[in-house]
Structure formats: structure tokens, C-alpha cells
Chain A
């Protein structure tokens, strides 16, 4: 007995040291395997992210060729209070409000329609999800053609707005929103369809036999069970809407975007950097966009999570 106990005591430190060495080796291997992924993230995500904070502290003179100089936090106030920024922020918020609910409701409606076990439904599913693979350029050109005041769909239908939709302060942003909604519809449909697959048929049948009609089954059973999916789709589509600017760039352009109230924030950032050559101001706006996205995500998670049913 004594011998065994002593042997154990003697063996314990050696055993622990062996374990530590093994953990070190394993950790080393783990980091080694992480290097390629870390390198990509480092170069394309982490470095630009932190560099952005540095850029915020420097002001670039309006005259090209002169070096940027350190101004600390002094230029933040003027940039954030500029009409340029406030206008584009307001435009973006309107744009998000136009895009997110509509694309989600339409995506859900299409998913519900395609969820029925009918012949040929696979073809509809393919059509409904196809917008996810179309590029923003293609979508913009197609919609631009449809909205064209001479050869487009609107004049063909006898609608000839003056000024044309994409040049109107009222209709330019909704027109761009329609393109974005159309583009996001495919993904929204796929997400909602996947969610619907997880709603057990027995539950809907139980509700049916319990006396619930189609609407009641949808609102009282499908939607609550779909809430994790809807929650996810809201976050994804909000971020997507905040970051969309391709259609504005292709169909409206920087010169007109502000005039027709379609200069969404990310487009303003791109142009502040590239056209106005003002990295400092662009970095400040980019940080605001980052904080808004972060804040929204946290808010959505906090508030929606309470109302989300996760099953189990």
C-alpha cells in the first residue's frame, strides 16, 4: 500500500509535466494549421479594420500630393455633422426599412407557396432561388432597361413619369430598393424554405385536427417555430441592406446620387475615399457604419432572442 502511494506521488509530477508538454505540442500544431486562414484574415480583414481606426486620426489636405497630417479626434465632429453624412445616413435607414421587411415577407410568402407537395414545385423552387446567383451588375442593367423612359417596361405600360424614375427624388431610392429586394429574394427564399422544412408536419396536422384554419396554423404554429429562421434572416438582410450600393453606382452614379436622395452610406464612403480622396472622413463614416451594424446586431439579438422559440 505504502509503496503504491509513494509511487503515485512520485509519478504525479512527471505525469503532469508530460501532459503539459503534450498540450504545448498540440497547441503548436493547432496554430500552425491556423496560419493560412489567419494570414488571409489578417491581410484582408484585421489589418484594414485596425488601419481604419488609424486613418480616422489623420486629415488629408484637399490639394492632391500633400501629406496627411495628424489631427487626433478633431475631424470626427465636423464629418459626422456634415450634411453629406447625415443625408446619406438618413437615406440608408430609409433604404433598410424599404428592403428588409419587404424581402423577408416576400421570401417567406414564396417559401410557403413552394412548400406544398405539388407536381413541378421543384421548378418553381429553382426559379424563386435563382436571384441569389445573379450579380448586382446584371440585376441593375436588367432593371435599368425595364425602367428606361424610352424602351423600358413603364412606357410600354403607358406610364411615363417625368422625370424618369431613376432621376426622381421620390422614386430613385425605391427603384434601387426594388432591385436589392429582388436580388435578396433568392437568399431570403432559401433561408425561409430551409426553416419551413424544420416545422414538423405532425404539428401542423395536430393544429388542423385541433380546429385551426390555414391562417391560424400559419400564425400560431408555423411562425413561432420559424422564429429562429426569421431572426437569422432579419440580421443577414439588415447587414446586406446596409452594405448594398452596386445598383446606385451602376444606375444613378455619384454625381446624381445625392441629388435624388439615393447616396446610401457605403456609397458615400467609397466616393469620399476615391472621388474626394479623403481617407480620414471615409474612415470615420466607415466606423459609424460598423458601429451601427454592430449595434443593430446586438439589439436584434437582445430583443428578438427573448421572443424567439428555439425548440428542444
Chain B
């Protein structure tokens, strides 16, 4: 087991920058999720650690070793990919045994190891089958068994759950977390699925266009997104982002927003209305020269006749346990209110007023120019 670190790693394919000056350290034993939409560079980052791609610039280390010039087979990492990459002509046992054979392990030792790995993943009864005779979930477990059998320093997982059906994905997600927890092997897990990222990662590194946007524990990432990209990307639906500007509080009594600490502060004005700002946020916003972007999580909003924001309902989506009321602000920006299925549902085209959770942490403010988060919160 070992720490993995990227130090200013860049990977270019011709003129395309797939990974841009990535600096990131994954401590020993951590499960770090690389999250981003397709083409964001997360898989390239993983392949750089595996050694399938060569870094254009920067250093990649596994433990104390810089591995830039080390062959994939000598990096002591194991990989599980989306297609499982099982050898179709070999039985399950031979598949699991393959990496041990390559390392010249004695036959009886191999048999013991294969048996252990198979038992860990519940594959005991399937050892003589060929991959074609297995279900998707079973193949996935064989791929995991092949990865764990040689006790590598690092696990690399590239969207390993993508080919599983929804129910199996939830089960396997939990299995992988439990397995990683038990083995304590440093793991890099690539996914575009934020639910996977939130539920599995000790920390999540969000990437976009090859650039690392933020790396933090799931709850921190959700509560304090570093920029508008992370704010909009995380959450289902993502954070509402409303362009606006900050003004000095005139004391007109419209203090029904997150107003506790609003006295003497400023206000943020968006086309849907205006909200008082907590003093800390106001100070931070005051320093910016351009406009701001107000971020409001859909669950921090509720339809309320006395709310300070106004919008027109466009669509109402009933999802069983909850309802998404999709509204449009006067300037055309979209605002989604996430409410319980029991709450009264407005009709499309209805003008509504929206209230904001009074907790000051519900308000997120970003610099409109840099898109960076304003305020320490």
C-alpha cells in the first residue's frame, strides 16, 4: 500500500490538453474518486498512474517511487475497468490466477491465493466456468478478484459499475467500499456518476476540461463547492445559479430570507428578487468588482407565498418521494425547487414566490468573472 501523487502532471494528445497541471495526493489507504463528465480527463489521469499513457510534463509517484518511466507491469497496481477485461478463453480460476502466474508464483501457493480471493468475492462455485457463462455482476466480481489476488499497492477502477443494472450497482458499490475498507489499499476510482462518488469516496476530486476543480470530502464538496462548475455538477438536480449583484442593505424590511445576521450587511439582487447577505459573505462579495452568481440548492428552496423570490413555473416533475418544480426567473435563468411529494404542487405557468432556508449556509456566492466561491464558508 502506498500514497499516490501527481505533481504538476500534464498530458497532451497533439493540441488537446487532456490533463492540465494536475497536482493531487492520494494518501495511503484512501479511496479517492475522480469525478467528472466524459472527456474531463479523469480516465487519462487513471491511465497515467497505470502507465498506459506517458505524462507530457510532471511527476507521478507511487509510494516513494517516481513511476513516470516504469513499465505498467512493474508499477504494482491493479486495474478494474468498465468492460471487466476478463480473458475470455480462460476459466474464472485461470483468470484470477493470471497475474500470479506472470509473477512466477509456485503452483500450490497460487491455488491458495485464488481460493482466498474467490472466497472473498463469493466465486467459489464458479471457478471452472468461462467468462461467457457468467452474468455481468459475476464477471465484475471476477475482475475484482483478479485485482485483489496479488495484493497490489494501488487499485485503479475505471467506471467498474457502469455495465451493471441499477439494483446490482447499489449492491456492488457497497461491496467495493467494504472490500477496500478491509484491505486498506489506496484506490483511485473514476466515475461520472455523482451518486457513486458521494457514497464511495473518502474524498472526491472533481475534474473539468483536464483541470482539477476541487478535491474534498463528499460533504464538504456538497456544502462548500469551490466554484460554479462544482456547484452545478454536484447534486441532483445541481445548485441553482442565478446571476446578480451585491448592494448595500437599505433596511426596507425585506428580511425574510436567510436573515438572522443580516443587520448592517448587504443584499444580493437577482432578477427573481433580493436576499439579505450574512455579514461575512457581504464583506467577501464587497471586494469583487464585477457581478456575482448566487447559488441556492434546490432543497433549500420552498414554494411560499411570502417568499422573497418570484418565478414562473415551467414544469413540475413528480419523482415518487419528491417533486422538482422547475421555474424560470424573469431573466430566463432556471430555478429548481425540490420539495416532498406531499407538498402542494403548483401548476405550470403559475407565478409563484419562493422562500429560502434561513440557514446562512444555504446561500452560496460566486464571483461572476472567476466563477470562484466568495467567502471562507
A→B interface (CB under 8 Å):
200, 202-203, 205-213, 216, 220-221, 224-225, 227, 309, 311-312
Q: Which residues of A contact B132 (CB under 8 A)?
A: 311-312
Across the interface, name the chain B residue whose C-beta is closest to A311. Answer: B88
Of the listed stretches B31-39, B76-84, B179-187, name the one at the interface; the rest are far from the partner chain.
Answer: B76-84
Q: Are B52 and A210 in contact (CB under 8 A)?
A: no
With known contacts A216-B102, A312-B132, A206–B89 Cβ distance under 8 A: no
With known contacts A202-B83, A216-B102, A209–B78 Cβ distance under 8 A: yes
For B45-68 the 0/1 string (1 means CB < 8 A from A) is: 000001110000000000000000
Least Cβ–Cβ distance between B8 and chain A, in angstroms: 25
Q: Are B85 and A202 in contact (CB under 8 A)?
A: yes
In the complex the two chains form, what is the Cα distance from A221 to B52 in whole Å? 17
Q: Are B52 and A203 in contact (CB under 8 A)?
A: no
Least Cβ–Cβ distance between A83 and chain B, in angstroms: 47
In the complex the two chains form, what is the Cα distance from A312 to B88 in whole Å? 8
Q: Are B87 and A203 in contact (CB under 8 A)?
A: yes
With known contacts A210-B73, A210-B102, A211-B102, A205–B87 Cβ distance under 8 A: no
Q: Are A225 and B88 in contact (CB under 8 A)?
A: yes
With known contacts A211-B102, A211-B103, A206–B88 Cβ distance under 8 A: no
Can you report 7 residue pairs joining A to B where beta carbons are below 8 Å apart?
A202-B85, A206-B87, A208-B73, A209-B79, A211-B102, A225-B88, A311-B88
B233 within 8 A of A: no
Least Cβ–Cβ distance between A217 and chain B, in angstroms: 10
B→A interface (CB under 8 Å):
50-52, 72-73, 75, 77-79, 81, 83, 85, 87-89, 98-99, 102-103, 132, 146
In the complex the two chains form, what is the Cα distance from A213 to B73 in whole Å? 8
Q: Are A205 and B85 in contact (CB under 8 A)?
A: yes
In the complex the two chains form, what is the Cα distance from A91 to B219 in whole Å? 79
Q: Are B87 and A209 in contact (CB under 8 A)?
A: no
Main secondary structure of the interface of A (DSSP, over half): helix
Q: Are A210 and B146 in contact (CB under 8 A)?
A: yes
Least Cβ–Cβ distance between A200 and chain B, in angstroms: 7
With known contacts A213-B73, A311-B132, A312-B132, A206–B102 Cβ distance under 8 A: no
Across the interface, name the chain A residue whose C-beta is closest to B73. Answer: A211
In the complex the two chains form, what is the Cα distance from A64 to B75 in whole Å? 81
Across the interface, name the chain B residue whose C-beta is closest to A205. Answer: B52
Additional A-B contacts beyond A205-B50, A220-B98, A225-B88 (16; CB < 8 A): A202-B81, A203-B85, A205-B85, A207-B87, A208-B52, A209-B50, A210-B78, A210-B98, A211-B73, A211-B103, A213-B73, A216-B102, A224-B87, A227-B89, A311-B88, A312-B88
Least Cβ–Cβ distance between B156 and chain A, in angstroms: 8
Least Cβ–Cβ distance between A229 and chain B, in angstroms: 14
Q: Which residues of B contact A211 (CB under 8 A)?
A: 73, 99, 102-103
Q: Are B98 and A207 in contact (CB under 8 A)?
A: yes
In the complex the two chains form, what is the Cα distance from A200 to B146 in whole Å? 18
Q: Which residues of B contact A203 (CB under 8 A)?
A: 85, 87
With known contacts A205-B52, A210-B99, A212-B73, A309–B81 Cβ distance under 8 A: no
Main secondary structure of the interface of B (DSSP, over half): mixed
In the complex the two chains form, what is the Cα distance from A200 to B89 in whole Å? 13
Q: Which residues of A contact B52 (CB under 8 A)?
A: 205, 208
In the complex the two chains form, what is the Cα distance from A205 to B51 in whole Å? 10
With known contacts A216-B102, A225-B88, A309-B89, A206–B73 Cβ distance under 8 A: no
Q: Are A221 and B83 in contact (CB under 8 A)?
A: no
In the complex the two chains form, what is the Cα distance from A204 to B263 in whole Å? 65
Q: Which residues of B contact A311 (CB under 8 A)?
A: 88-89, 132
In the complex the two chains form, what is the Cα distance from A296 to B39 in whole Å? 51
Q: Are A209 and B72 in contact (CB under 8 A)?
A: yes
Q: Which residues of B contact A224 (CB under 8 A)?
A: 87, 89
Q: Which residues of B contact A209 (CB under 8 A)?
A: 50-51, 72-73, 75, 77-79
Q: Which residues of A contact B78 (CB under 8 A)?
A: 209-210
Least Cβ–Cβ distance between B144 and chain A, in angstroms: 13
Q: Which residues of A contact B83 (CB under 8 A)?
A: 200, 202
In the complex the two chains form, what is the Cα distance from A212 to B85 in whole Å? 14
In the complex the two chains form, what is the Cα distance from A220 to B87 in whole Å? 9
Across the interface, name the chain B residue whose C-beta is closest to A312. Answer: B132
Q: Which residues of B contact A225 (CB under 8 A)?
A: 88-89
Q: Which residues of A contact B75 (CB under 8 A)?
A: 209
Across the interface, name the chain B residue whose C-beta is closest to A224. Answer: B89
Least Cβ–Cβ distance between A47 and chain B, in angstroms: 45
Across the interface, name the chain B residue whose C-beta is closest to A212. Answer: B102
Least Cβ–Cβ distance between A190 and chain B, in angstroms: 24
Least Cβ–Cβ distance between A241 and chain B, in angstroms: 28
Least Cβ–Cβ distance between B142 and chain A, in angstroms: 12
Q: Which residues of B contact A205 (CB under 8 A)?
A: 50, 52, 72, 79, 85
The 3 closest A-B pairs by CB, nearest first: A211-B102, A206-B85, A210-B99
Q: Which residues of B contact A200 (CB under 8 A)?
A: 83, 85
Q: Are A206 and B81 in contact (CB under 8 A)?
A: yes
Across the interface, name the chain A residue whose C-beta is closest to B133. Answer: A312
In the complex the two chains form, what is the Cα distance from A221 to B95 in whole Å? 11
Least Cβ–Cβ distance between A129 and chain B, in angstroms: 28
In the complex the two chains form, what is the Cα distance from A212 to B102 in whole Å? 6
Least Cβ–Cβ distance between B152 and chain A, in angstroms: 9
Q: Which residues of A contact B50 (CB under 8 A)?
A: 205, 209
Q: Which residues of B contact A210 (CB under 8 A)?
A: 73, 78, 98-99, 102, 146
Least Cβ–Cβ distance between B79 and chain A, in angstroms: 5
Q: Which residues of A contact B85 (CB under 8 A)?
A: 200, 202-203, 205-206
Q: Which residues of B contact A227 (CB under 8 A)?
A: 89
In the complex the two chains form, what is the Cα distance from A211 to B146 in whole Å? 12
In the complex the two chains form, what is the Cα distance from A280 to B99 in whole Å? 63
Across the interface, name the chain B residue whose C-beta is closest to A307. Answer: B89
Q: Which residues of B contact A213 (CB under 8 A)?
A: 73
Q: Which residues of A contact B102 (CB under 8 A)?
A: 210-212, 216
Least Cβ–Cβ distance between B131 and chain A, in angstroms: 9
Q: Which residues of B contact A312 (CB under 8 A)?
A: 88, 132
Across the interface, name the chain A residue whose C-beta is closest to B82. Answer: A202
In the complex the two chains form, what is the Cα distance from A210 to B73 in whole Å? 6
Least Cβ–Cβ distance between B149 and chain A, in angstroms: 10
